[in-house]
Amino acid sequence: MDSSATEFPLPLLITGVAGVAGYNALHYFRDRFPGQVIGMRQENKWPLTGPDIEACDAEDTDALRRLFDRYQFQSVLNCAGNCALKSCELDPALARRTNVEGVRNLLDVIEGTQTRLVHLSIDLVFSGLREGAHREEDRTDPVTVYGHSMATAERLILLTMPRACILRISLPMGSSYSGHAGAIDWIKWRFQNNRPATLYFDEIRTPSYTDCMNRLYETVFLRNLSGLYHAGGPRNLSLYQIAQIVNCAGGYDPQLLKGCYRREAGPMPPRAGNVSLHSGKLAQTLGYHPLMPWPADEGLIPADREWHLRAPSVVDGSPEFLAENLYRNPVLQATGP
């Protein structure tokens, strides 16, 4: 990445650092711009502490204004949001308060300033009842309260701050601060603790390495992109396939992995189908596709539903192998910054 602190709008605020995307972005940008990056977490995420982390609920307008008055942020990477599907279904007011009102307050605070905003939305603003490969102009039709709240936040930003950039992402593949959140850590935690994990054959996502995503955020800020872009990885995978990859790469008991179709899982919470994203607009704008396939190694792509029962020769089957190939993009690790 050809950039410097004099070009990047600093200081930078990263919200939602308790989530996988925000947590990994905080580490990346803190290394890039020491002393110029602050991570914001919800008050109730008290185990997540550090010298560059501030506890502040975005729904608390006064507290948010005080934080901006203190640091005078020139850019905001908004990774905040409650993505717990069942919790949002059971408490729609919580989903709206966290995913919509928090965004409204953020927009109010930066109104009239030159602060750049990059907001992360999600592929689950779509139902997935169509054939996937969703484009930016496709109508949103979420099946969950979470998806509805994220779609509402998108519309709010597009109407009130068109100069902001919205990136619709899929599953960010990286470590979590708690060790059992996010796609990889949740599945791995189940297997590590000898617990079965049931994933869906027919929920299709476009996951991305967080280290690729971090570089994308930096590019978006530097180029001052605005509008809505899809930022999904170039490889479509079902949740079941993702679990196969985690199971095999980590060397876990293959009998712990179970699979089913969404209709067999019950009505709560509702599950989306093929919500894969077509990210051609972003690639055309940048002149390249910024997100490499997850996983990078073609040998880790399941060939069938019993693939994980037969350990492929390319798989070492250990926590170290998993970390080197699933948490981080080995291609980027080999080439360096």
19-50 pLDDT, tens digit per residue, is: 999 999 999 999 999 999 999 999 888 788 88
Range of the domain at 17: 12-181+207-233+275-291
* Burial of 282 from C-beta contacts in 10 A (0-12 / 13-18 / 19+): buried
Question: 156-164: which pairs have CB atoms within 8 A and are 24 or more residues apart?
Answer: 156/100, 156/103, 156/104, 156/107, 157/103, 157/107, 157/117, 157/119, 158/227, 158/228, 160/107, 160/111, 161/107, 161/110, 161/111, 161/117, 162/226, 162/227, 163/226, 164/116, 164/117, 164/118, 164/119, 164/226
* Burial of 136 from C-beta contacts in 10 A (0-12 / 13-18 / 19+): middle
pLDDT of 333? 79
Is 336 inside any structural domain? no
Domain with 82 in it: what CATH number? 3.40.50.720
Is 161 inside any structural domain? yes
Is 298 inside any structural domain? no
Would you say residue 1 has pLDDT above 70?
no
Could you report the per-residue pLDDT of 314-332, keeping only the tens digit for each?
Answer: 677 899 999 999 999 999 8
Residue 84: what residue type? A
Could you report the per-residue pLDDT of 141-196, keeping only the tens digit for each?
Answer: 999 999 999 999 999 999 999 999 999 999 999 999 988 889 999 999 999 999 99
Is 71 inside any structural domain? yes
Is 328 inside any structural domain? no
pLDDT of 46? 76
- Rounded mean pLDDT of the chain? 93
Report the C-alpha gap between 74 and 86 in whole angstroms: 35
Is 216 inside any structural domain? yes
Number of domains into which the chain is organized:
1
Report the C-alpha gap between 131 and 182 in whole angstroms: 25
Could you report the per-residue pLDDT of 150-163, keeping only the tens digit for each?
Answer: 999 999 999 999 99
pLDDT exceeding 90 applies to what percent of the chain? 85
pLDDT of 5? 44
Would you say residue 337 has pLDDT above 60?
no
Predicted TM-score of the model (pTM): 0.94
Is 252 inside any structural domain? no
Structure tokens of 276?
Answer: 């894969």
Q: Which residue has the higher pLDDT, 43 or 11?
A: 11
* Choice among 3-17, 142-156, 177-191, 212-226 with the minimum mean pLDDT: 3-17
Nearest to 32 by CA among 7, 4, 54: 4
Is 312 inside any structural domain? no
